[in-house]
Chains A and B, each alone.
Chain A
Amino acid sequence: MALRDGRLLPVGVAATLAALVAVFYYPVGSVLLSAVYDGAQFTLSPVRSVVGDPFYHELFAFTAYQALLSTVASVVVGLPGAYLLARFEFPGRRFVRSVTILPFVLPSIMVAVGFLAMFGRTGLVNDVLGAAGLGPVELTFTLEIIVLAHAFYNAPLVTRLVTAAWESVDPARVETARTLGASPFRAFYDVILPQLLPALLTASVLTFVFTFMSFPIVLALGGLELATVEVWLFARVQSLALAEAATLGAIETALSLGLIYVYLRFEATQLNARGESRGRARIPLVAGPRSLVDPKRLALFAYAGAALVLFVGPLVSLVVESVTTPGGQFTLGYYEFLLAQQASTAAGTVRPLPAITNSLLFGAGALVLALPMGVVVSVVATRDSRGSRLSEALLTAPLAVSGIVLGLGMLRTLVFGTTLFGYRLTVTGPVAIVAAHAVAAYPFVSRNVTPALGSIDDRLVDAARALGADRTTALLDIELPLVVPALIAGAAFAFAISVGEFDSTVLLAEGVDSATMPVALERYTGNRSLGPNLGPATAMGTVLLAVTTVSFVLIDRVGRGWAQ
């Protein structure tokens, strides 16, 4: 254990930085630089033409507007969920808590199909409204359905992060406030809310950044009429107008990074406000007949009903579509298609089983890389040194960079190869995919771990140091065990992001051997051997849903068992 004597942390920081430079800063930098370099010549003309174009002003304004609406919707939908999960006990609560991460793995094309099946002109919602004698709602191809789909993806993020914060509220402080005569509302406002605020803001900033960079959902549910910056960026890449695409990417990244930086500064001021806690006891949701007429509980039941429609509806529609023909009859044909693909020996066939194992393997690989990276970033973040906010923002930059820019950059540098000292260096296949997934995932690990690490009582660490432990030993033996729940949450995120990642996977997957479940799903979408329908893709989507649900529940349960 030569690394033990306080050198592990610097080594960890160096390794994280090296990995980031190789698979993130270098590829992304090479793309963004083409905004200001024309060949070898420095130029400002692409930037000038974008900044001076009224069309782009409108595009950025609309993108920000829909991101704001989406953020508000995600908070409105996610917050009551956090209240329900953090404060009430009911059968299946732990299961519901683990599966709040599921939307992260769902490829947007599936979600779009589910949403259309649910909220479309002939969808379930309109059927129910029609039966109740209410007029049909026209949601398809509107801003409303985009905002709703964004809430589908991001409200669970709000729920997850806020639930964790709510569970760590110190019950003694709430009780003290009540004893001193504060009304429940007053106690909430003065004691609980300040402790939820950092988590709520984290979730809101992340949601805003994600929905600002929204691309497939906008294209699939809204169409070009509601184009965002990212939609436009992708189109410029498609027509190989790379300088303009890079300029859009650079502006987008600068805006997102700025937002993340401002947020991190705020978060740093909040960290010290937290105390250690054992958590408050949960109230049973259903306790005798009286609880069924309690207005608070009735409101929660109404909320659960609405959430069921929004979250379970599209997924159920997906499963239903996988066993019904376009004509509405029951069929197992799409699953037979999956079996036939598995048995096939034809070239270029994406087989379902290898796709499943690849997804699980890449997920495990990404998890192994992302956990230490995320912890390193968290440790840097909780140091109160000068510039640590800035370095944290730089280390969190993958969140602020569009998937299209990253994918394009990786392709141009790592996959095509880089010439160094007369050798063409290429990184290909599964390694590049795992690296890309880890880069996308580790910010979530650190977003989970940083607040937990920050809330650890300094006196514990000081005591360990006084007893002779060096800084690294204190981190590994005292601090990390205390943040295990946050680490598990981060691990689930890392795994979820890896399983659901599509954009860079599909660019980096070489041939069919490194295809993952979402890639298989996309390939089956384009397979018209059963006619032009999404049946095979919905069957693969159902398999994806099943495999990942089981994985998360396992990560959650095993992790929690280990923590206790």
Chain B
Amino acid sequence: MKRRTFLSGVGATGAIALAGCSAEPVNQTNTPNQSDNTLTVATYSSFTGDGSAGSWLKSNFESEHDATVEFRTPENGLNQFIQRKSESAPIEADMFLGLNTGELVRADEQLDGQLFATADVEGADSVKSELNFDPDGRVIPYDTGYISLVYDEGEVENPGTFDALLEPDYEDALIAQNAQQSDPGRAFLLWTIHEKGPDSYLDYWRGLSDNGVQILSDWEPAYNAYTNEEAPMVVSYSTDQVYYHGEDVDVSRHQVGFLNDQGYANPEGMAQFADADNAELAREFMSFVLTEEAQSEIAVRNVQFPAVEGVEPGGDFGKYALEPPEPVTFGYDELAGNVDGWIEDWAREIASS
């Protein structure tokens, strides 16, 4: 009997395996199940889900337009589509939402063809000009965060400057993130390059290393280690107090510290894929994202600053989100041809220290 169950088990899984495969003629351009009014938006996973900016955008866009919005959240983000494009696999999405300058540079450097199309989007001219990071106008910013320090007032004083971080007072005091894979980590590295210059930033980081900076993989583990009092300072966002305020919260543990009165802006943008099936719908959606109402909702729900001029989200966000006196950032042209080398040299410096 055991033998028979063994055999039928093998047979059954074989049948399932066949059912999970599909074969489609290569020259067929449109997949048959793609209805004309479905918009497929690729984004990062925390943008979708309950109470998120994504779910608000979906339900409100759907109620105003005769369309269905579907989110895709591939784990490797934009890389998925760069690789699809370079392997001539179908893109299977109409637009991408949530890319930053460095990722656009990488996409352009990796691909000969165009991944994104230049789209004429209504309302794009109202985006704050300093946030625009695509010289070709394909990517339209929809929000921005500012990288800063978050520190525990009871443990350390606000360092105030980059140089202070090298002082003995801040020995073993800072947790940062890996610039190879973390947005705030990369922004912080670029900020130091902006400040110290491409020729001296490695010396500065050698100093930080000697003073005991810790480089953790990403924002969550870094912030968690900070919460567990492993160190009194962490690289994070200037919107920290939007989460932490109120009566039962010790705000002294959530002080935002700008260095040299700056904060590094990390604008997030959206763009329509050149191979989109529903280019028209993608443009309408992007235009919807830039409306004043959507901008406020995105700011509050995604806890990032609006990208459009004159939008002032109220409530807790308006009260607790801090903007740096002097926002700095690298533009596309400054990053092109440089960013990968900067990051790799930095990572080698840290890994061999």
Q: Which residues of A contact B (CB under 8 A)?
A: 3, 8, 15, 55, 58-59, 109, 112-113, 116-117, 120-123, 140-141, 216, 219-220, 223-225, 227, 232, 234-235, 238-241, 326-327, 340-341, 344, 346-350, 365, 368-369, 372, 411-412, 416-417, 419, 422-432, 434-435, 476-477, 480, 506-507, 511, 523, 525-529, 531-534
**B49 close to A523 (CB less than 8 A):** yes
Known: A235-B347, A369-B13. A428 touches B49 (CB 8 A): no
Of B22, B110, B178, B225, which one neighbours A140 at CB under 8 angstroms? Answer: B225
Residues on A with C-beta less than 8 A from B325 are none
Residues on A with C-beta less than 8 A from B214 are 141, 223, 225
**B55 close to A347 (CB less than 8 A):** yes
Within 8 A of A (CB), among B37-75: 45-46, 48-52, 54-55, 58-59, 69-75
How far, in angstroms, from A341 to B3 measured CA to CA in the complex? 43
CB distance from B256 to the nearest CB of A (A): 13
Interface residue? B344 (CB, 8 A): yes
Residues on A with C-beta less than 8 A from B72 are 511
For B4, give the chain A residue with the smallest CB separation: A1
Residues on A with C-beta less than 8 A from B23 are 423-426
Interface residue? B30 (CB, 8 A): no
**A527 close to B230 (CB less than 8 A):** no
Stretch binding the partner chain, chosen from B82-90, B134-142, B326-334: B82-90
Interface residue? B252 (CB, 8 A): no
**B217 close to A220 (CB less than 8 A):** yes
What are some 17 contacts across the A-B interface (CB < 8 A)?
A: A122-B228, A224-B180, A224-B347, A225-B214, A238-B181, A341-B50, A344-B50, A346-B52, A346-B59, A368-B13, A423-B25, A431-B17, A476-B2, A476-B6, A529-B50, A531-B244, A532-B243
Give 8 A-B pairs besides A347-B69, A369-B13, A424-B26 with Cβ atoms closer than 8 angstroms.
A122-B228, A123-B228, A225-B214, A346-B55, A348-B49, A423-B25, A426-B23, A511-B73
Residues on A with C-beta less than 8 A from B51 are 346, 529
**A347 close to B20 (CB less than 8 A):** no
Known: A112-B221, A223-B214, A529-B52. A120 touches B22 (CB 8 A): no
**B50 close to A431 (CB less than 8 A):** no
Interface residue? B229 (CB, 8 A): yes
Known: A112-B221, A122-B229. A240 touches B350 (CB 8 A): no
How far, in angstroms, from A116 to B227 measured CA to CA in the complex? 11
Residues on B with C-beta less than 8 A from A225 are 209, 214-215, 350-351, 353
**A121 close to B230 (CB less than 8 A):** yes
Query: What mask results when residues 195 to 218 of chain B are scored 1 for a CB within 8 Å of chain A, else 0?
Result: 000000000000001000011110
CB distance from A8 to the nearest CB of B (A): 8
Across chains A and B, the number of contacting residue pairs, with CB separation under 8 Å, is: 214
**B19 close to A431 (CB less than 8 A):** yes
Interface residue? B33 (CB, 8 A): no
Residues on B with C-beta less than 8 A from A480 are 2
**B225 close to A116 (CB less than 8 A):** yes
Known: A239-B343, A412-B83, A417-B89. A506 touches B75 (CB 8 A): yes
Interface residue? B224 (CB, 8 A): yes
**B75 close to A239 (CB less than 8 A):** no
For A510, give the chain B residue with the smallest CB separation: B72
How far, in angstroms, from A241 to B352 measured CA to CA in the complex? 20
Q: What 9 pairs across the A-B complex have the smallest Cβ distances?
A: A431-B20, A348-B48, A219-B217, A416-B89, A346-B55, A224-B215, A526-B46, A531-B243, A235-B180
CB distance from A207 to the nearest CB of B (A): 23
Residues on B with C-beta less than 8 A from A526 are 45-46, 220
Of A327, A417, A523, which one neighbours B45 at CB under 8 angstroms? Answer: A523
**A239 close to B340 (CB less than 8 A):** yes
CB distance from B351 to the nearest CB of A (A): 4
Residues on A with C-beta less than 8 A from B352 are 55, 58
How far, in angstroms, from A476 to B46 measured CA to CA in the complex? 51
Residues on B with C-beta less than 8 A from A369 are 13
CB distance from A17 to the nearest CB of B (A): 14
For B348, give the chain A residue with the smallest CB separation: A55
How far, in angstroms, from A120 to B178 measured CA to CA in the complex? 21
Of A412, A507, A525, which one neighbours B87 at CB under 8 angstroms? Answer: A412
**A423 close to B340 (CB less than 8 A):** no
Of A220, A238, A430, which one neighbours B216 at CB under 8 angstroms? Answer: A220
**B21 close to A425 (CB less than 8 A):** yes
Residues on A with C-beta less than 8 A from B71 are 347-348
Residues on B with C-beta less than 8 A from A224 are 178, 180, 215, 347, 350-351
**B25 close to A422 (CB less than 8 A):** yes
CB distance from A7 to the nearest CB of B (A): 12
CB distance from A184 to the nearest CB of B (A): 41
Residues on A with C-beta less than 8 A from B6 are 372, 476
How far, in angstroms, from A260 to B260 measured CA to CA in the complex? 54
Known: A235-B347, A369-B13, A430-B20. A116 touches B49 (CB 8 A): no
How far, in angstroms, from A528 to B303 measured CA to CA in the complex? 9
How far, in angstroms, from A140 to B224 measured CA to CA in the complex? 13
CB distance from A117 to the nearest CB of B (A): 7
**A534 close to B220 (CB less than 8 A):** yes
For B237, give the chain A residue with the smallest CB separation: A532
How far, in angstroms, from A416 to B24 measured CA to CA in the complex? 12
**B49 close to A238 (CB less than 8 A):** no
How far, in angstroms, from A507 to B14 measured CA to CA in the complex? 23
Of B12, B58, B80, B227, which one neighbours A326 at CB under 8 angstroms? Answer: B227
How far, in angstroms, from A412 to B87 measured CA to CA in the complex? 8
Known: A55-B352, A372-B6. A113 touches B224 (CB 8 A): yes
Of A3, A116, A117, A431, which one neighbours B7 at CB under 8 angstroms? Answer: A3
